[in-house]
Every structure is written in C-alpha cells, then in structure tokens.
Amino acid sequence: MISQSSTRIFARALVGIVLLYLISRFFIFWHGWPDFSETFQALFSSNSENSLEGNQLYQGLALIMLYIATFVLIFLSVKRNPNVSLTEDADKYKKISYFIIRAAFWATFLVGLADAIVSLMRVEEVLVQVVGAETAQILDQATQRGLYLHYPLMVLGIVIAAFTRSLGFIWLAFLIVLAEFTIVITRFIFSYEQAWMGDLVRFWYAAFFLFASAFTLVENGHVRVDVLYSQITNKKKAIVNAFGSLFLGLPVCWTILYYGMATRQSSLAAPILSFETSASGYGMYVKYLMAAFLIVFAVSMAIIFISYFLKSCAFLFDEKDAELPMGGEH
Amino acid sequence: MELFFLALLFITMILMLTSGFPVAFALPGSAIITIGLAALTGYLFADDPSAYFAEGGPSQWLSAGVTNFRSLYWIVERDTLIAIPLFIFMGIMLQRSKIAEDLLVAMAQLFGPLPGGLGISVVFVGALLAATTGIVGATVIAMGLISLPAMLRNNYSKSLAAGTICASGTLGQIIPPSIVLIILADQLANAADQANTMRKALYKEATGEFSMPSQFDVVSASAGDMFMGALIPGMILVGLYMGYIFIYAWLKPEVAPPVPYDGDYDRKFFLNVVLALVPPLSLIFVVLGSIILGVATVNQAGAIGAIGAMIMAGYRLHTGSKSTMYIPAALAIFALLAITFLKSRYDLNIKSIQSAEQWFGIKLAFGAVGILIVAIAWSAMRAIKIDDTLKHVMIDTAKMTSMVFIILIGAAMLTSAFRGFGGEEIVKHFLTSLPGGFWTQFLVVMLVIFLLGFFLDFIEIAVVVVPIVAPILLANPEANVTAVWFGVMIGLNIQTSFLTPPFGFALFYLRGVADKIVKTTDIYKGAISFIGLQLLGLLIVGLFPSLVNYVPNRTHLLSETAPPPLNPKLQHCLENYVLEQYANDTDTIKASIEKASALDVSSLPKKLQSKFKASTEDALKGLGQTQAIVDAKTAIATFSVDYKPLQQQVSAIKTSISKLNKKEESLQEELDNFESEASVGYAGLKSKIDNINAERTELSSSTPATWEVENGKYKALAETLKKARRAYLKSVDSSYENFDEIRSVIASAPALAEIEEPLKSMEKMITDSNDKDALVEQLKVVEGLFSKIAASSKIKSKVTKARRSFRKVKDDVAFNEAKNKAIAYSKDALKIYQGEITWRTEANTALQADFESYDAAIAKTIGLRLQSRFTDPQAKEMAACLSHHRDLSLSF
C-alpha cells in the first residue's frame, strides 16, 4: 500500500529533479562543467578518449553528489515531519510555482520596459547624448545589453516578487492592450512606427499566455472534454487528475526541458546562450528571453502538476482538509 | 509497424481526451507517450529506437515538437494571433461592465412589440457579442441566464426560446471578429503554403514545365481575409434566423407573442435606448470597418476595441454623481474629433517636420493625445476601483487566452507525432483514393469535422484536423477553392455540429443553466429547425463561393497597395473583362483609333511621328486579333466537354503509376542493401517488385487508346490560344507603350518650361563662383530638377558633364579651365533645351486634348494592362471575377 509519506517523498523528489536539472544546466552551459553522460563515461569507460581532466572530473562528480544529497535531504525532511498533510505540501508547491511566475512577470515587465526605452533612444539616435558614448556602446551589443541591463533587472524582478503577493502576470493583459494601442496612436496620428514597438507587444504577449497556464490549471480554466468527466464520481475525477498530471502533464514539461536544453545547440538553449535578437535591425534585444519563457512555462507547469497530483492524492487518501482540485462542480 | 503506432496514437488520444484531463495536455501527452513506447519497443526488438517511425527518430520528432511550441510566438508571420487576447479583453470587458446586458434589454424593449421581437433581439445581440469571445459555452450560458427567463415569462414556446438561444450562442464562431476565425486563418495560411508546394509538384509532373504560373497559385488566407470572408455568410445566417423567427411568430402568434413595453415611448426611453445601443454598435463597426477598409491590421483593431470597451465601462460602471459620469467618455470623443480635424488640416508626420505650421499642428495633436490618455487613464481608474472590474477582466482574459494558446501548443506536438508515424501520407492516400474527386473528399472531411464537433471544441478541431486535411483539399486544381472559403465552410459546419442533438455543445451548456421546466426534449426540438437553417446556409455558401471571396478581394483590389493590372495573377480576369469591353464597343474603339491615326501630328519630331503611327497601327492590329482569342477559347470549351473526363481518367492512372514508382524505388533501395541474392527475404522483396512492375504495365495499358490523339488535339488547341494571346498582347502593349511615351513627353511641356530660369542662370552661376564644392552642390540641385520630366536626359547629361568638369580640379588654374568647359556644356544644354521646349509646347497645345480623349477611349481595353492601377469600377469587376472558383484541372 502506498503511504502518504512515500507519496510526499515521491512528489518532493519530482520537484527536486526539476530544480536540480535547471541548476546543473547552469553549471554545464555557463561554466563548462561536464554533462552527466560525460562524467559517467569518464568513470566507467576504459577508453582513454573519454577521460576528463582532473578539475572537470570533480565538477562532474559534484553535480552527481548534488543530486544524491538533495534526495537524501528530501527523504530526511519528510521523515522528520511525518504529520504534514499532502494538501499542505501541495499548497507549498503551488506557492513555489506562483513565485516563479511572479518573478518571471516582474522580470518581463521591467526588461520589456527598459529595453523598449533603450531601443527607442537607439533608433532615434539620442542614446549617446542621454547615457554617454561608453554606455551607449554597451547597450548597442546584444550580449552586453543582456548582461548589464537585462540580468540586473531580472534579479530586481526576483527581489520584487519575493516581497509582493499579487498574481502579477495578469497585468500583462492590460500591458499588451496599452502597447498595441500605442502603435495605433503613433502610427495613425504621427505616421510613426518602429520595429521595437511590435517586439514589445510580442514579448509581453508570449509571456502572458505561457505564464498564465499554471494559474489557469489551478482555476480549472483549461478546457476538458467533459462528455464522460461530468458524469463520474469525485473519486474517479481525482484519479483522472492524478494520473493525468503524472503521465500527461509532466512528460510535456520534461520534453520541453530536456529537448529544449539537452545541448548547447538545442532550440531553447541556443538562443539564450547566444543572446539571439530579432532580424529587424532596430528592434528590441529580447528575443532570447522569449525562449526562456518556455522554460519558465515548463518549470511552473511541472511544479503545479506535482501540486495537482498531491491534491488529487490527498482526496484519494481521504485527508480531512482535502478538496477536489478541479474548482468544484460546473 | 508505424501503422500500429499510429493507431496506438489515436487510441491513446481518444482515451486521454475522454478521460477528461485538460485537452491542452492530453493531446501532447498522448503524443509523447506513444513516441516513447515506439522508441522503447524499437530499442528492445529492433535495436534501434527509430525503427518504428515512418521517418526520423523519437528525439528528432520530440525536438521538432518543442521547436513547434516555440514557433507559436517566435516567427513574425503568426503575429495575428496577438489579436486573440485583445479581442477577448474587449469581449469580457463588455460583458463584465454589463454593457452587453444593457444592449439585450434595450433591443428587447425596442423590438419586443413585434411578433417574435424578443427572439429577434436575442439573435442580434448574440451575433454581436458572441463575436468578441467566440467561446460557445460563455455565450450560451450568458444568454441563457439573461434572456431565457425573459422569453419564458412572456409565454414564448419553450423549444423556440431554447433553440434561439443555442443557435445565437454559436453564431459568434462565424461572425467577425471571432477568435476562432483568427486561429483558422493561422492554420489555413500554413496549409495554403503546403498546398501550393504540392500543386507546384503536380504541375511539374503533369506538364514537365519547371515553374508554375503564379495565376495557378493557391489563394491563401490572413486573419483579415477570414473576417471579411465570413462577414456575408454570417449576415446571411443572422438574416435566416431572424426571418425564421419572424415568420414563425407571424404564422403562429402563440409561440412568440409580442411583448408590449409597459412604459411610455417618451424622450427618456429613446435616450436610454440610444445610450445602450449606439456605443457598443459603433465600437464594433469601428473595429470591423477599420479591418475591412484595410486601414488597420487585425491586431490594431483589437487594441482599439479593447480600449474602446474600457472607456465605455468607465461610464457604465460609474455609480456616483451623474454629473461626472460621462466626462471621460466625452473627453475621449472630443480628443478623437480634435485629432481627426488636425489630421485633415495638418501633415502630422512626425519624421518629416518641414514648417513651423506643421510643428504647430503636431503640438496641438500632442495635446489631443494627452486628453485621450487622460480619458483612458480615468476610465481605467474607474475600472480598477469599482468592483475590481479590471482585475476580473484581466484574470478572465488570462485564463481564456492561456486555454486557447496552450491547446495550440499541445496540438503542435500531436501533429509532430502524427507526421513521425507517417499519418500524413496515409490521410493523403486515403483522401486521394476516394472516387469522385474533390467533392467526395470535401464531403468526407466535412462529415468527420461535423462528428468531431460533438466531442471537441472549435479550437481543437482547427488545430488538429485542419493542418492535416487542408493542404490536400486546397491543392486540388479541379475545385481550386480558396483557403478563405474552405475556412468559412469549416466554421459553418462546426457551428452546425454544436447545435446537433444529442451531443451538441451549445445544448449541453444551455441544459446546465436552463430552468427545470424546460425539458431536454424542448431544447432538442428547438435546435432542429435551426439546424435546418444552418444546412441551408451551408448550401448557399457552398454553391456561391463569391459570397465569401468577394469582400476580401474587393478590399484587396481597392486598397492603396492594390496590385497593378499587369500582375500575372489577374491576367485571366483582366482578359475576360477586356474581351467583354471589345464585344460591346468594338466600333467605338475602332472609330477612336481611326480618328487618332488621322490626327495631324506634324508638330512632333520625325521619330515620334513614326512611333505614333506605329502605335495606332498596332492598336488596330490588336483589335483585329481579339477574335482569334475568343475563337480559340470557344474551341477549347467545346473540345473539353468530351476531353475532360478522359483527361481525369488518365491523370488518375498517372498518379497511381507515380505512386507505384515511388514504392518500387524504396523497395529497390532495400533490395540493394542485401549482400547476396541468397539472403533471407531477398526473394520476397524481388517478387514484390515484380508484382509492382506487372501492376504498372497493366495500368499503363489501361490508358484509353484515344488518349494520345485527343491529348495532341488539346495541346494544339491550347497552343493556338497561347499564340493568339501572345500576338494580341504584343500588339496592344507596344501600341500603348508608344502612345504613353509620346503623351508624357508632350505633357511635360509646362514642367520643362519651369526649369528655364535655372538653366539660363547656370552660366552666370558658374562664372561667378569661386568655391568649387559649393558650385558642384548647386549643379547637383539643377540636375535634380530633371528627375520628374519625361525624356529630358539629353539636357540633363550636359548638366552632368558640366558638373563632372570639376571632378579633378585641385588648383585655381584648373578650376578656371574647368569653368570654361562647364560654361560650354551649359550653353549646349540651353541650346538643346530651347529646341525641345519649342516643339513640346507647340505639340502640347495642338494635341493634348485629342490625346486625352483618345486615351480615355482605349485605357479600358488596349491600354488597361499598362495602367498604374485599376479604376474603382474595374477593381470591383476584377474582384467579382476572382471570387469564382476556377477549374484549373485542364492545365495540370
């Protein structure tokens, strides 16, 4: 019989893998640490071509140790607090997912605004006057602008997210309307339209529907085929949701995370690592972040699916504060 | 084996969908599971994970899926999808602020006293409001809650009331600006591209020619096109619904009795009605109008709609004192009027400010925009403060947008898996092997979509089915349907499906909110007559594709960026138009040409005189050649009556043979992989290939014996037509080209006269100058004067030479030498100029009027191809002609 605490360990491990995967990608891509497969080959293959140089081997081992240590910690933390209910854990993960979304929203909002202003000044050739030649040169290059403008703003976004409690991302709906309406005004009244204006709308719009997905799932906003679903008992609904979260939802997130970032050339990793920009010369320099949106989507969805899975399990285990996570009857 | 996994994909998908897990994840989830299983079995039993894929391997298809996810917002071509959150924002804002409800109440009061009036208002409001959200459930529920009780209270028959609400709720799918039309357009544009590639391959195979003429291209669809195409069919449906309710109520008054309005029809009543009706109606007209007139893109129109809805919510939500209620809206209207005025009075282009006056105008415009921003901010503040309306609107927009887009993402993975297991080829094979050509394929596809409509929402069908079947149907040269028409037919079809008992979506939703006195059978009964109307609508639109195609074509051809008459895609319609003109007015045209050739053109130089003579002669020649085209066309038309079935039969045989060829090729490749003839399986493969060979021989021998001869005859006829056409075009084009040249030369006389002064003063300018660079600049300015004057290059080249004299000047001596040279050139220039201006002025006075009247006589026919754009009536004729689906099968 599956116990509650083993379910909690399982769920916590699933969350841990997602976060660890991101951390390991950071070390592998940014610091050139060896991939898992490289480490394993170096350890177990006799072929000297596969061996890693001293330092690299330790880095690879450190990553593996990080995974093992995390799993041990997860195991211990659950065992030490055996009386936490699944629902409480589910809420904790929901909060983590919402925090990720909120941080991503603030980062998107700040970066979008700042980059739009810089792009405006650059295309109107006043950038040098405003910020000086040296800074202007930094802002002129995608990599530099990313490192010295976007990254600090993203950190600021995370800080703001830590001190606020609102959903955040819903404001993107209004921001998209305003950004597009600005195009209407400048184009029809002043015959003025620039590539960065369209880029800003696209930037926020992509963030909008991807960030909204986790919240939509919690609010039962993702449409279901309810010919049968509306007829079955709540227990069966909980089974459907638990099963679906594990075998339909999570694989989608993992496909995005894995195939998007398997190597430096993968479709999400490549643009991020190269600070890709759009082809239109004087647009914004944020295209690479639009690839990162999909990662935010995958991570937030993975964690929310785990939360959803726990909630459904809580219902199946007849926990007293459990409620059916599908927003009640419709 | 890939067939097995394709079936598994379907079974998994159906199971997962019916389980009730959200569609957006059930679709990609089942795709990933199936790909994973296929990879695993491949690894276990064939030692190769990609063994059970039609092509490629598991990681390739999964990566492709992830790249497809990204492409949703990564590529600029799919930007129209941005309009979706904007329109959702607008629709929800209208609903949340109760403007929608007011509209329904006002309409009911206004039309209630008519027989069936209440029902008619429900149809009207449903059509307008559902349009902005396009989600069936939301509309049916809202209408069911508001208007069903009102109708029942007034003794409407339960079935009529239920049917009206269900049908009106589904109207929003098809009436622009509906978001499902945007999604369909997005999918169809992609499908049309693929269809075009397929058709090009077909053309190459059939004719052996390398490139397909662009007039045979598949006509694609943008979101704007979809909106315009769906406009008339939508109105037809609304008309059918209203007409039905009115006639039914008139014949049987007890089913839909008039609802008398209790109050007085006084000023206050009419003021209320106007306030409730006019703002939302004008907003929707502005949004649609700006798209249809080609002024704004769909996205921009969406932003206008969203902001407009918020300003309306600003006064509708206001509960405080009456005196400040309308201030923000009034400010906005004032600002818009001011902007319109300023725009007509000043050039407000901010990038080219040329005068102080223009700068003044721009400053005023800034002021007006400032007022508009204040109005928007004020309305937004009200929407934020009162009942948290803005927050709820944003939340609802977020949920609905995310729901739509994550399905789009999910379907991308499914499509990827479907391709991986070779599903596309199978569907293509199945459809093309159906007997009866395009229309059977079309009906089968429509039936499948209809059945899917019982289980899936519009968006799922659009993103799952359309990418698979649309390229095949659109590529068919026989029916040659436009993507817009196909999209509208799909829309009407799904809409009907949503209404059909026992599974129709709309019926479920209404059942959920309707009172218990309304029995399910009432709802079913009510829906049936509307299904009849839907089928009638489908039939009308199916039989008259012009109803769909005309509006987008017309907008396209009347727009600023309309293609010129020379555009190859327009040649077929242009020829029909011109031939018709000839048929009506040959004599008049001939008389004008003869009159023109009799003109006294002695004022022209010899060379132009002979050109003019050639021009009129060519015109007459061209006129004589039209009959040949008409004859050749008639001949082909008569011949194809018998030829076409034969051609179809043979082309079917050819297709089968080319399929066999492909099969053989792949088998042969496998065969080549064997090391020796003794290997296991070699003999089996060999016999398969032999079978194919036998089948092919049989097929080729089944080609009718008459084919060679008949095909030869057809080719000869087509060649005759081509020759006749070429000869005619050569005559008329060269005729008008020459005429146009002469005309523009003499018409340039006044412009030429204007540059007399600068030319005359050039000599003095050179003599007086002692700054080389400044002089060169001045001469450049003089050169620039010629840019708009026809045939002035001789004079200009002298000026250029004068300027170039200074190129290598380094010291004063050289400068003076160069000056002398330049003066000589400027004298030359003046001399040539004087000769030119004399004869041009003379010729202009003598001939201008005659030339203009001659031009007017031939511009519609002989000169049509060389006009810079169509006149408005011509553009409309072209649009009408282009709106028919032309059978192209004989050219393939």
ipTM here: 0.93
Residues A223, B455: C-beta atoms closer than 8 Å: no
Residues A252, B29: C-beta atoms closer than 8 Å: yes
Distance CA B294, CA B282 (A): 18
Cβ atoms < 10 Å from Cβ of A176? 28
Residues B66, A255: C-beta atoms closer than 8 Å: yes
Distance CA B654, CA B892 (A): 12
Distance CA A279, CA A328 (A): 47
Distance CA B105, CA B123 (A): 13
Cβ(B561)–Cβ(B833) below 8 Å: no
Which sign does the torsion angle of CA B64, B67, B69, B75 carry?
A: negative
Residues A205, B82: C-beta atoms closer than 8 Å: yes
At position B549, the amino acid (one-letter code) is: N
Which sign does the torsion angle of CA B638, B639, B645, B648 carry?
A: negative
Rounded to a whole number of angstroms, the distance from the CA of A103 to the nearest CA of chain B is 17
* Segment-wise mean pLDDT, segments of 10 residues, chain A, 330 residues: 81 92 90 82 70 78 89 89 86 94 96 94 89 88 91 96 91 96 93 91 95 92 81 89 94 94 90 86 88 95 95 86 56
User: How much of chain A is helix, strand and coil, in % rounded to 5?
Assistant: 75, 0, 25
Q: Which of residues 382-441 of B touch A (CB under 8 A)?
A: 390-391, 393-395, 397-407, 410, 413
Cβ(A214)–Cβ(A168) below 8 Å: no
Cβ(B96)–Cβ(B239) below 8 Å: no
Neighboring chain A residues of B66 at a CB cutoff of 8 Å: 255-256, 259-260, 266-268, 294
- CA B871, distance to chain mean position in Å, is 21
User: Could you tell me which chain A residue has the CA closest to the CA of B411?
Assistant: A252
Residues A223, B407: C-beta atoms closer than 8 Å: yes
Q: B709: Cβ–Cβ under 8 A, 6 or more apart, which residues?
A: none
Q: What is the largest CA-CA distance in chain B?
A: 110
Cβ(B545)–Cβ(B482) below 8 Å: yes
Nearest by CB to A222, from B22, B70, B390: name it.
B22
The structure's pTM equals 0.85
Rounded to a whole number of angstroms, the distance from the CA of B525 to the nearest CA of chain A is 21
Cβ(B239)–Cβ(B167) below 8 Å: no
CA distances (Å), origin A59, targets A34, A48, B19, B70: 7, 19, 45, 32
CA distances (Å), origin B238, targets B120, B164, B233, B243, B654: 9, 11, 9, 8, 46
- CA A262, distance to chain mean position in Å, is 16
Neighboring chain B residues of A208 at a CB cutoff of 8 Å: 85, 398, 401-402
Q: Which of residues 125-184 of A touch B (CB under 8 A)?
A: 167, 169-174, 176-177, 180-181, 183-184
The length of chain B is 892
Between A and B, how many residue pairs show a Cβ–Cβ distance under 8 A? 220
- CA B134, distance to chain mean position in Å, is 20
Nearest by CB to B25, from A184, A186, A248: name it.
A248
pLDDT on residue A326? 57
pLDDT on residue A184? 94
Is B86 an interface residue toward A (CB < 8 Å)? yes
Pick among B60, B70, B283, B503 to test the A interface (most A CBs inside 10 A): B70
Pair of tokens at residue B513: 């909110």
Neighboring chain A residues of B306 at a CB cutoff of 8 Å: 177, 181
Q: Which residue's structure tokens are 């950004």?
A: A179
Residues A173, B67: C-beta atoms closer than 8 Å: no
pLDDT on residue B258? 84
Is B138 an interface residue toward A (CB < 8 Å)? no
CA distances (Å), origin B633, targets B61, B203, B576, B887: 50, 21, 11, 14
CA distances (Å), origin B227, targets B112, B132, B648: 31, 12, 35
Is B726 an interface residue toward A (CB < 8 Å)? no
User: How much of chain B is helix, strand and coil, in % rounded to 5?
Assistant: 80, 0, 20
Neighboring chain A residues of B365 at a CB cutoff of 8 Å: 189-190
* Segment-wise mean pLDDT, segments of 10 residues, chain B, 892 residues: 87 90 92 93 87 85 89 84 90 85 84 86 81 64 79 88 89 84 91 91 83 86 90 93 92 85 80 88 88 86 93 88 86 93 88 85 92 94 91 91 88 87 85 82 92 81 88 89 94 89 79 80 90 94 94 89 88 89 86 86 85 89 88 90 86 81 81 74 82 87 86 89 91 90 86 83 82 83 81 84 82 83 86 86 85 86 88 90 87 78
Q: Which of residues 60-119 of A touch B (CB under 8 A)?
A: none
H or E segment to which residue B741 belongs: helix B707-747
Neighboring chain A residues of B33 at a CB cutoff of 8 Å: 247-248, 251
Nearest by CB to A170, from B372, B398, B456: name it.
B398
Rounded to a whole number of angstroms, the distance from the CA of A126 to the nearest CA of chain B is 15
pLDDT on residue B132? 59
Is B510 an interface residue toward A (CB < 8 Å)? no
